Amino acid sequence: MQEVSTSLLTSFPLVTASESRQLDQLAEQAGLPSLVLMENAALRIAEVLQQHFELDPPKRIVIVCGKGNNGGDGMALARHLNNIGFQVQVFLLADPSELKGDAATNYEVAVNFGIPIQPIVSSEELPQIIEPLRNADLVVDALLGTGITGEVRGLYAEAIPLITRHSHRILSVDIPSGINSDTGEVCGVAVRADATVTLGAIKLGLMLFPGADYAGDLFVGSLGVPNSLLTKLNIQKFVATHEIVPRVLPPRSPNTHKGDYGRVLIVGGAPGMSGAAIMAGKAALRSGAGLAQVALPQSLNIAIEASALEVMSFPLPETEAGTIAPEALNVLAPRLEWADVIAVGCGISRHERTQEFVRQLVAQVDKPMVIDADGLIALSGCDEILRQRKSLTVLTPHPGEMAALIQTKTEEIQRDRVGVALKAAKDFNAMVVLKGARSITASPDGTVFVNPTGNAGMATGGSGDVLTGMIAALLAQTIVRSLSTSDLRSLTEAVAAAVFLHGLAGDIASWEKGEVALVAGDLLDHLPRAINEPELSQPLTLRPLSPFVQFVVRMRK
């Protein structure tokens, strides 16, 4: 069995429900009893309850439990909280006789310790939980875990809206009840938590919308299972973290020159959209490329020479509409040979003859290439052009462009962002960056990075152009440093790092500008700090956490 790269385990692994169960089974096979896993889970949840929510005894805690292992975690938690002086009340939405295994054990122990556990077995009894929910300092949702796939039904479906409506603050165990742990979809109804402590490894659905929004602030708690067991599962999906940045952008040797950091050629621009290509060129330099040149229609050449002193320009033959003409390919030949990475599409337009130029460029030029925006539209229905390319190809569509590229509807893209990105990466033999909230980087080898940085203020024209320049620059540096374009793992990390830093620059900009006033140029201004301080992405609690709990993403402001 292929083992996952040790370097990738410094990122957070993402697991499906099936992989989570396999991990528990491997732990048990290694001699770690499931009851110990449940005990560790309870301790991790208790830590977040105290440190993140800043709660101390004798605060009132209400725990709503289901009949499965999620409920078992909740009852183990009740015991620990009761032992240190919290006022704990537990509602069990099942008859105690339905409990099995570790959940039954923890129920029995809790009862023996005098913890009040009130079974709720009918709709008529449900209103009994409303007043305790309202009076609690925190409500713990331990109702449903990762096993749910279809719609929530019965008593649980009635209870979940009550929990969300009447609770001041909610902490979910492992995953908010009602969220599909593989897709992030809402299974009819779901608890909207203020924070979630996922256990052992992060469930994929917690990083994808709408699940991410329902999860709130996301923590991952250790169950005492070492990374060596994770390697046996061949995990290929990860959360990108700040630790990826120094691997992609290591310290520079003092004895270097601009040629050591790659040459990026940006091909794009059209009347009214020259700024897109210019921003991509600026972003390439801000991201460390030694040289960046923008090739754009000759009538627009003055625009870049006037606005971007450090970025070189190259005028191209143009159509009657002022866009790049097909004959530009021959004129561009020396620059194509010069470049380590070519980025095409930023503001290039959908003019018919320009789209023909894009198709010829992608088909005929054997160089690493990043394709964005209208460059992607030109390739809609031209799958063979992409499949036949021998050099690295990176596609950076937003959902609408992806829908055009694979000829489906945007809703289908959003329904399964990870699955769509992976399939496209394999079908086109290309790296795919599916942009949007929690952008996905997918590689043809099956590796996926889900990006945790970025904010709604980045939903503004030009953000994608900045990202294109950044990806091209980090790829160029990686290729020049390794003198290879065949190290797919390193190249995937370079692309994921660009996406991560792009989002972080947006986050840093939002701290100063807010989200409403944010523009794409602000990303360029704040990119240096993102590169120099990638650890700024790490959310912190006012009270420190132990090494057994890690704060993954802050969602609630």
DSSP assignment of 348-377:
----HHHHHHHHHHHHH--S-EEE-THHHH
How would you class 425 by CB atoms within 10 Å of its CB: exposed for 0-12, middle for 13-18, buried for 19 or more?
buried
The C-alpha torsion from 334 through 337 and 340 to 341, rounded to 10°, is: 70
Strand partners, 549: 221
Q: How does strand 440-442 pair with strand 431-434?
A: antiparallel
What is the arithmetic mean of pLDDT over 68-75? Answer: 97
Residue 205 has pLDDT above 70, yes or no: yes
Rounded average pLDDT over 193-198: 98
Q: Where do the domains of the chain lie?
A: 7-235, 256-537
> Residue 170 has what DSSP assignment?
E
What pLDDT is attached to residue 510? Answer: 97
412 has pLDDT over 60: yes
**At 1, is the pLDDT very low, low, confident or very high (cuts 50, 70, 90)?**
very low
Kindly state the average pLDDT of the residues 369-389.
96
Compare 10 and 277 and report the one with higher pLDDT.
277
Name the least confident of 144-153, 193-202, 311-320, 496-505.
144-153
pLDDT of residue 227: 82
DSSP letters for 209-259: TTHHHHH-EEEEE--S--HHHHHTTT--EEE--TTHHHHHSPPPPSS--GG
* Alpha carbon distance 195, 2 (integer Å): 35
pLDDT at 544: 96
Binned at pLDDT 50, 70 and 90, residue 20 comes out as: very high
Using the structure block, give the residue that is written with the tokens 């945790």. 452
Separation of alpha carbons 107 and 68, rounded Å: 11
Handedness of CA 334, 338, 341, 346 (dihedral sign): negative
Task: Assess contact for 133 and 62: CB atoms under 8 A.
Answer: yes
Of all residues in the chain, the percent with pLDDT exceeding 70 is 98
d(CA 78, CA 108): 12
Q: How far apart are CA 287 and CA 76, in angstroms?
A: 49
Number of neighbours of residue 366 by Cβ within 10 angstroms: 10
User: Of the given ranges (6-10, 380-384, 454-458), which has the lowest mean pLDDT?
Assistant: 6-10
Nearest to 180, CA basis, from 207, 220, 216: 207
Look at residue 285 and tell me whether its pLDDT is greater than 50: yes
Distance in angstroms (rounded) separating the CA atoms of residues 203 and 461: 32
**Joined tokens for residue 39:** 């005990």
pLDDT digits (tens, 9 = 90+) for 251-273: 999 999 999 999 999 999 999 99
Residues 6+ apart with CB under 8 A from 141: 64, 163, 170, 171, 172, 173, 176, 177, 191, 193
Q: Which residue pairs, CB below 8 angstroms and at least 24 apart, start in 419-424?
A: 421/448, 422/446, 422/448, 424/395
* Residue 45 pLDDT > 70: yes
The bridge status of strand 312-316 relative to strand 117-119 is: unpaired
The mean pLDDT value of the chain amounts to 95
Mean pLDDT, rounded, for 69-95: 97
Confidence at residue 265, expressed as pLDDT on a 0 to 100 scale: 98
How much is the pLDDT for 396? Answer: 98
**Beta-ladder partners of 291:** 263
Select the more confidently predicted residue: 187 or 556: 187
Q: 161: buried, middle or exposed (CB in 10 Å: 19+, 13-18, 0-12)?
A: middle
pLDDT of amino acid 6: 40
| Averaged pLDDT, 121-135 | 97
- CA end-to-end span of the chain: 43
CATH code 3.90.1170.50 for 7-235: no
Residue-level pLDDT at 192: 98
Does residue 10 have a pLDDT over 60? no
Whether the per-residue pLDDT at 229 is higher than 90: the answer is no
Per-residue exposure over 19-32, b if at least 16 CB sit within 10 Å of its own CB, e if not: bbeebbebbeeeeb
Q: Coil, helix or strand for 189?
A: coil
Sign of the CA dihedral with 161 first, then 167, 170, and 174 last: negative
User: Token pair for residue 122?
Assistant: 């009918």
Tell me the residue length of the chain: 557
- Does residue 181 surpass a pLDDT of 80? yes
Q: Which single residue is written with the structure tokens 């972080």?
A: 504
Instruction: Report residue 225: phi and psi, to 5°.
Output: -100, 125
CA distance 39 to 106: 9
Backbone angles phi, psi at 404, to 5 degrees: -70, -40
User: Domain 256-537, what architecture?
Assistant: 3-Layer(aba) Sandwich (3.40)
Q: What is the DSSP letter of 104?
A: H
Q: In the structure, what pLDDT confidence band is assigned to residue 231 with cuts at 50, 70 and 90?
A: confident
Q: Hey, what's the torsion of the CAs at 88, 175, 14, 48, to 10 degrees?
A: -30
pLDDT at residue 303 tops 90: no
Q: Residue 172: enclosing H or E segment and its boundaries?
A: strand 170-173
Residue 485 pLDDT grade (very low, low, confident, very high; cuts 50, 70, 90): confident
- Taking the C-alpha atoms of residue 357 and residue 342, their distance in angstroms, rounded to an integer, is 14
DSSP for 416-478, written as a single string? THHHHHHHHHHHHTSEEEE-STT-EEE-TTS-EEE-----GGG-STTHHHHHHHHHHHHHHHH
